[in-house]
Amino acid sequence: MSKMATFKNGLITNNPVFVQVLGMCPALATTTNSTNALGMGLASTSVLIMSNLMISLIKNLVPTKIRIPVYIVVIASFVTMIDLLMHGFTYELWKTLGLFIPLIVVNCMIMGRAEAFASKNTPFDSIIDALGTGLGFTGALVLLGSVRELFGNGSIFGFEIWGEALNMHAFILPPGAFITLGLLLAMFNYIGIRKEKKAKEGAKK
């Protein structure tokens, strides 16, 4: 696969949230507004880039049988680093994301990429794959967070769009997370189905 295709595969074709439905816990919990969503997305992306790089570097040294525990330790070390860095430099964000920073360890997206991609490919390709998947994850989170913030609070990234005129507080509460993500998924499914139909009609002609 070419570099561009690897990148696009993680970003769009196999988007971790909307297509593979991985990493749901942070996607639902930290998207009460766009800023938190962006913070969570970037934190996960940086862990993913570093763990993918590390795992593809050590892939030949690790016996196959114990690879999963080794990957977990590698991921956990990078998560600890991010946790400490965020505590030091972005304290406010660290406080709002709270529990979900340590929980990056059990994000199945990161383990999934380590197992499915980094353990078989060169370090450079693994970084590209991590960038694509990570940015796909960040994009999905920011989209979800923006929709929730827009309808729940009338703003995006804290900038007022229509103020308090249309506030539906439910979007910021837990049920709003499930329902918004459900509707977004349905929308992407709809686009997918229409594309397929068009492709079929095109083939007939």
Do the strands 159-160 and 155-156 form a parallel or antiparallel pair, or are they unpaired? antiparallel
In the chain, the amino acid numbered 154 is: G
Q: How far is the CB of 163 from another protein (least distance, A)?
A: 25
Tokens of 124: 């450079």
Q: Which is nearer to another protein, 70 or 161 (CB)?
A: 70
159 φ, ψ to 5°? Answer: -85, 130
Q: Which is nearer to another protein, 7 or 71 (CB)?
A: 71
Report DSSP state, residue 107.
-
Give the residues lining the site for another protein (CB under 8 A): 21-22, 24-25, 28-29, 69, 72-73, 76-77, 79-80, 83-84, 99, 102-103, 105-108, 111, 170, 173-179, 181-183, 185-187, 189-190, 193
Q: Which tokens go with 4?
A: 């561009």
Closer of 52 and 107 to another protein (Cβ): 107
Q: At closest approach, how far in Å is the CB of 40 from another protein?
A: 12
**Shortest CB 138 distance to another protein, Å:** 18
First to last CA, the chain: 31
Closest CA to 137 of 67, 33, 50, 39: 39
CB of 4 vs another protein, minimal distance in Å? 29
